[in-house]
Structure 1
């Protein structure tokens, strides 16, 4: 490079969910921060009702950008990540939703768009795992980053009132959770890494890629985004006071002889239920299922996050 030449400027593409309400103009704010950081004018792609980010992420990669920023809620993040996983493209986050599960686990400012965008542009970059999910033996698989669930938790997500979410945020999930406490356990079979089948009567089976979920609650203790492992949690309340046993089991992190709460770690898990149960991934209710296959894809996604020490419950090698 001669003294007259200047280094090429980097360019980001932003996948925006236009229905997310904000008190700022996403396009203007991101463009201003990119200019301030010495990046070119960003490209913008808006998600659509029947395509929450898949084709937009593919178009961004075809444009040859240096970074793809998912600007939306957990659904937008999940769909964009599904396309970027396994590629050389890095992903950043601009949280605009209520849950913002991955952003919260990565210490990305859910109420600070400037911090989030600057972290995407110039933060530290790590490789994290994604989990591939096949539902009811479908030909195509899907992807999640934080958690997926079959049963109670998915029913809670389906029953959460959007109006209430707009008013009180994540507390709307508490309302839905209380209303969904009644119900009967379902005969369930689980295979962990192809081992001997485990038979239980369960209200819920959840797979976690990292520890924290809605409201900052940590239900997958020790789960890390980059350990190549999936954490499985089962809930089996028994009797009239069954949910008290579940709460106790969660507080004890599954230790003890009770099967109300059980934890497993694996690279691959398969779940069969006797009857269809609600199913969700990263907070999005996706219908019902009777068979779920979870497979960890270790280190598949390049992700940008703020510089600084990270919670050791999130990463195996926190930065000093």
Structure 2
């Protein structure tokens, strides 16, 4: 009699049907998790789907996720769930990128930038945990950043910058974030509006350097920030490219031109220097004087040099099933 051979299940089918012997690690920021039983949800879904008891590791003030991610990798887990703010997510991703181990996230912070871009529930930890186990798998780019020609590079998933944007992140009041959430960044933005431009040299894809007088230079892997504002129009997290934006307001009303062009999603006068965009795989930024640096909202101090390099398809990531905006991923899900 013929033998009935079933097709091998896809990754998503395995996730939905359960996988005996598989194990997840939960890396959780205990400060961020005070109002949500994320660990309970991870244990519950692990049991429901036939996974082994999860490995649970808390971050600390001294180590926001790097060592914990390495511990999870050493344990040979199949899925690493980063539960915390953007800093926790970035540190875990920095260790997982290039390893082939699946990552998921449960947003518990204020900005939750990557989660907002990927339609991961920012106000429903249970739904985010369910997506971590039962969602769809995508492979995304990460961008490596070297600051002041350091030997070791950092990574970012959403955006990084030097200048005004980083000053906002560095100057945002934690007590205000606890009270009004992401509006605290607006407060810091207004307080940092005054300032003078910095002479900046930029090279894109190894090309001839050019100079600008700028308040900020930002690299984007995907485009959306808090409030639904899309500051990198059309940026995709899986296209092998980074979007570079320069900000150069002119005069007292210069910021109005910047905001207007942001609202218009980069459209308008092509020669308007207040906001310029470049697409690239590599970029190098050099300043005459040190300015604040940020990666995915994490302040890194001051620097005069940043080098960016896109690493395509570096990180396996779980996200919710369903449609994804083509401004985020190259091939939207049905």
TM score, norm. by length of structure 2 = 0.92
**Structure-1 residue corresponding to 2:6:** none
User: How many Å separate the matches in 1 of 2:140 and 2:57?
Assistant: 25
Q: How far does residue 36 in structure 1 lie from its aligned partner after superposition?
A: 2.3
SS at match of 1:60: helix
Q: Is the CA contact 2:20–2:50 (under 8 Å) kept in the aligned structure 1?
A: no
Q: Is the CA contact 2:36–2:125 (under 8 Å) kept in the aligned structure 1?
A: no
Q: Is the CA contact 2:33–2:84 (under 8 Å) kept in the aligned structure 1?
A: no
**Paired residue for 2:184, among 165, 172, 175?**
172
What number of residue pairs does the alignment pair up? Answer: 315
SS at match of 1:45: strand
**Does residue 268 in structure 1 map to residue 282 in structure 2?**
yes
Q: Is the CA contact 2:41–2:129 (under 8 Å) kept in the aligned structure 1?
A: no
**Paired residue for 2:137, among 125, 136, 154?**
125
**Does residue 195 in structure 1 map to residue 241 in structure 2?**
no
Query: After TM superposition, what 4+ stretches of structure 1 lie above 6 angstroms from structure 2?
Result: none
User: How many Å separate the matches in 1 of 2:38 and 2:324?
Assistant: 27
**Paired residue for 1:227, among 239, 243, 247?**
239
**Does residue 162 in structure 1 map to residue 184 in structure 2?**
no
**Paired residue for 2:196, among 178, 184, 201?**
184
**Paired residue for 1:17, among 29, 48, 51?**
29
Q: Is the CA contact 1:273–1:290 (under 8 Å) kept in the aligned structure 2?
A: yes
**Structure-1 residue corresponding to 2:84:** 72
Which 10-residue stretch deviates more, 207-216 or 260-269? Answer: 207-216
Unaligned runs of 5+ in 2: 1-17
**Paired residue for 1:249, among 261, 270, 281?**
261
Q: Is the CA contact 2:38–2:126 (under 8 Å) kept in the aligned structure 1?
A: no
Unaligned runs of 5+ in 1: 1-5
SS at match of 2:90: helix
**Structure-1 residue corresponding to 2:70:** 58
User: How many Å separate the matches in 1 of 2:275 and 2:41?
Assistant: 45
Q: How far does residue 91 in structure 1 lie from its aligned partner after superposition?
A: 0.1
**Does residue 298 in structure 1 map to residue 312 in structure 2?**
yes
Q: How far does residue 301 in structure 1 lie from its aligned partner after superposition?
A: 0.2
99 and 37 in structure 1: CA distance in 2 versus 1, 3 angstrom threshold: same
**Does residue 316 in structure 1 map to residue 330 in structure 2?**
yes
Q: How far does residue 7 in structure 1 lie from its aligned partner after superposition?
A: 6.5
189 and 21 in structure 1: CA distance in 2 versus 1, 3 angstrom threshold: same
**Does residue 37 in structure 1 map to residue 37 in structure 2?**
no
TM score, norm. by length of structure 1 = 0.96
Q: How far does residue 216 in structure 1 lie from its aligned partner after superposition?
A: 1.9
Which 10-residue stretch deviates more, 27-36 or 150-159? Answer: 27-36
> RMSD of the alignment, in Å?
1.3
